[in-house]
Amino acid sequence: MNKRQTRLFAIASTAIASLVFIGMTIDSHRQFPTLTNAQNITPAVRSGQDVWHKYNCINCHTLFGEGAYYAPDLTKITQHRGEQYLQAYMRDPSQFYDEQRHRRLMPKQNLSEEEIKNLIAFLDWVSKVDNQGWPPRPILVTGASIPGTDMAAAPKEGGEAPPGARPQTGNENPIALGERAFRSATPACNACHSIAPGVNMAGPSLAGVGSRAEKLVSSPDYKGKAKDAMGYIRESITDPSAHIVPGAMYSANGVSFMPNTYGKGLKPEQIDQIAAYLATLK
C-alpha cells in the first residue's frame, strides 16, 4: 500500500467502526424501555430513588456494579432478602452487623417508615431490570472467603463478647437475633450453609429457602410433617432427616449429614428466631 491507500484504509475502517458503534448505541437505547420495565416505575419507585440519592447510599453501595465498593451490591437484594428482613435491616442495621466483628457497619439512617417502604419499592424495581447478566457476579464484601458465609466472624455460643461489643438489650428484632444465632450456633450453620445463590458447601445454599419451603410443604415430594415454611425450617433444624434435600453428598441411607443435635443445643426461642430469619430469604 502506498501512503494514499494507507490513509484511505485508516479513514474507511474508522468510519465503519464508528457506524457500527452508533448503530449499536441507538439499538441499546431503543431497548431501554423494555429492559427497564419502564411501565413499572410507580410513584413509590420514584420516591424511593429520591431517598436513595438523599442518603447517598451509593457512597457505600453499588447498583448495577456502579458506586462505591465499601458495602454489598444491592442490584438483586430484594430477590435474595425478603421485605421483612429489609425493613428490619433499614430500621436498624446495627442489629445485624457488629462493628467489632465485621470491621465496618452501615450507619443508622433514621429513615421513616415511608422512606423504607419506598426504598424497598425502588430496590425491587431495580432487581427486575433486565441487566443482561451485569454485574457478572454479585459483589459481596462481607469479610468472608466464601460468598455469603462469615466463618471468621462467628463467635462461639457463650463465648466472650469482643471488647466494646454492643450489650444485649433483650428487645431486639427476632430476625436480627436469628441471623446472629445462625452464625453463633455450635456448630455454626454458616460452616455448612451459604445464603448466596448457588454456593453449595457441605450443606445446600439457603438462598431462597423461605419461598422454596413454602412450595415444598404442599408438594407430594415432601416427606415431613410441617404445614408451612416456618414449620419446615424448624423441622430441618431439629430433625434434619425428616425430609432430606436430594443430592448424593447430603445424606446416606436416609440419614442427613446435618447434625441432629440442634434440638438440644439451641433454645426453642433461638430455633424460632433462626426460622424467622431464614423464612425471609426469598
Binding site residues, ligand HEC, CB under 6 A: 55-57, 59-61, 70-72, 74, 77, 81, 86, 89-90, 97, 102, 104-107, 109, 119, 142, 182, 185, 187, 189, 191-193, 202-204, 206, 209, 212, 233, 236-237, 240, 244-245, 250-251, 256-259, 262, 274, 278
Q: How far is the CB of 121 from ligand HEC (least distance, A)?
A: 12
Counting every residue written for the chain, the total comes to: 282
- For the record, the C-alpha cell of 150 comes out as 462469615
Provide, rounded to whole angstroms, the least separation between the CB of residue 73 and ligand HEC: 9
Q: Of 185 and 276, which CB lies nearer to ligand HEC in the complex structure? A: 185
Q: How far is the CB of 279 from ligand HEC (least distance, A)?
A: 10
Residue 9: C-alpha distances to residues 1, 14, 19, 22, 130 (Å): 9, 9, 15, 20, 39
Q: Which residue, among 68, 55, 56, 111, has the nearest Cα to 88 in the 3D structure?
A: 111
Alpha-carbon span 254 to 184, nearest angstrom:
28
- Spatial CB neighbours of 125, under 8 Å, sequence gap ≥ 6: 37, 40, 41, 42, 45, 48
130-169 core/surface letters (b: 16 or more CB in 10 A; e: else): ebeeeeeebbbbeebeebbbbeebbbeeeeeeeeeeeeee
User: With respect to ligand HEC, which residue has the nearer C-beta, 41 or 183?
Assistant: 183
The smaller minimum CB distance to ligand HEC, of residues 27 and 221, is found at 221
Nearer Cβ to ligand HEC, position 92 or 212? 212
Nearest-angstrom CA–CA distance, 260 and 271: 13
Give min distance, CB of 100 to ligand HEC, in A. Answer: 11
Cβ closest to ligand HEC, residue 22 vs residue 157: 157
CB of 171 to ligand HEC, least distance (A): 21
- Nearer CB in complex with ligand HEC: 20/152: 152
Q: How far is the CB of 236 from ligand HEC (least distance, A)?
A: 4
